Amino acid sequence: MAVANFRKAAMIGCGFVGSASVYSLMQGSVFSEIVLIDANKDKAEGEALDISHGLPFAKPMKIYAGDYPDLADAGLIIISAGANQKPGETRLDLVKKNTAIFKSIIPQIVKYNKDAILLVVANPVDILTQVALKLSGFPKNRVLGSGTTLDSARFKYLLGQHLGVDARSVHAFIIGEHGDSEIAAWSSANVSGVPIHKFCEMRGYTDHDAETTRIAEEVKNSAYEIIKKKGATYYGIGMSVRRICEAIVRDEKSILPVSTYIEGKYGLDGVCLSMPTIVGADGVDTLIPYELSEQELAQLHKSADTLKSVLKDAGI
């Protein structure tokens, strides 16, 4: 296997999510080169120009519109191409449309590059990660989805606001599907080692059932609310993409809730979903044995079943 060139990334799909992600990657100087590919060539060219005009205020790098042959020497290929949710539409409603798009994109990737890491961002992200894995034939560690990285960021943000503490000091994960069956893993949530309920009590909150339900619902409904108000979500996911890319490029071995193919862990098999995972230069390193309560484990199985029935209905 060739050594991955982490100086270069590709973004396939340059809509709201693709362009916000590239903008964030540019600001973080994560790569020296990013090629933008979109079915709408003008869109890719326009975004490449617009984002490049910020370079004098950042660090030198090449950002340009290209085509599939430009993937040949990219170490990381990010896929955000696909329709987004319309108001009232669930992520799972997008399955048919976006699976068809992936059937046109993945063979093109494989034609020019068999060594890259694939990062799937388009929705429904867990299903499409599994589609990308199947169609590419890449090893499981090299195909991952952004999963619940964004949901977990929303969770930390809301908990930080609620508890009057830096969101970076909150250690908490949303697990399972990036979608309606996702689970807030409260039992292991903590603020720098202080169990979450204890920290809540320190701040004067004692009605745990009401507060946890409210916050978990708010996380789950964030995308619906933003889409209703402004049509699409893209800044939060742009930062999430950057965070995952940094972990890979710098071989950080960071623990992130990315969507990966689960085999024999947590009693699950044959489905892509998010659990806290060590992420580094090989993509997925390993899942960590995250502590879940019995109820959370049961919810995780339910979430996996939801995804499996979608996979089955879609013939994946």
Asked if residue 105 binds ligand NAD (CB under 6 A), the reply is yes
Single residue of 123, 130, 222, 303 touching ligand NAD by CB under 6 A: 123
Residue numbers annotated as active site? 178
Question: Hey, which residues does 170 pair with through a beta bridge?
Answer: 191
Residue 238's closest CA among 153, 174, 176? 153
What is the per-residue DSSP string for 176-245?
B-SSTT-EE-GGG-EETTEEHHHHHHHTT---HHHHHHHHHHHHHHHHHHHHHHHS---HHHHHHHHHHH
Task: Please tell me whether residue 166 adopts helix, strand or coil conformation.
Answer: coil
Query: Closest distance between ligand NAD and the C-beta of residue 80, in Å?
Result: 5
Asked if residue 25 binds ligand NAD (CB under 6 A), the reply is no
134 to 173: interface string for ligand NAD, x by CB under 6 A = ------------x---x-----------------------
Q: Which residue has the tokens 């019995």?
A: 294
Asked if residue 82 binds ligand NAD (CB under 6 A), the reply is yes
- CA R_g for the chain: 19
Query: Closest distance between ligand NAD and the C-beta of residue 53, in Å?
Result: 19
Asked if residue 232 binds ligand NAD (CB under 6 A), the reply is yes
Alpha helices (H) in 87-124, listed in sequence order: 95-112
Q: Determine the Cα–Cα distance for residues 148 and 240; give it in Å rounded to an integer.
A: 9
For 176, phi and psi rounded to 5 degrees?
Answer: 90, -140
Subset of residues 243 to 302 that bind ligand NAD, contact rule: CB under 6 A: none
Asked if residue 85 binds ligand NAD (CB under 6 A), the reply is yes
Segment contacting ligand NAD by CB under 6 A, of 61-69, 79-87, 197-205, 264-272 = 79-87
Residues 6+ apart with CB under 8 A from 50: 19
Asked if residue 129 binds ligand NAD (CB under 6 A), the reply is no
Asked if residue 16 binds ligand NAD (CB under 6 A), the reply is yes
Binding-site residues sit at: 13-18, 38, 43, 68, 82-83, 85, 91, 98, 104, 121-126, 146, 151-154, 156, 171, 233
Residue numbers of the site for ligand NAD (CB under 6 A)? 12-18, 38-40, 43, 80-85, 94, 98, 101, 104-105, 121-123, 125, 146, 150, 178, 232-234, 237
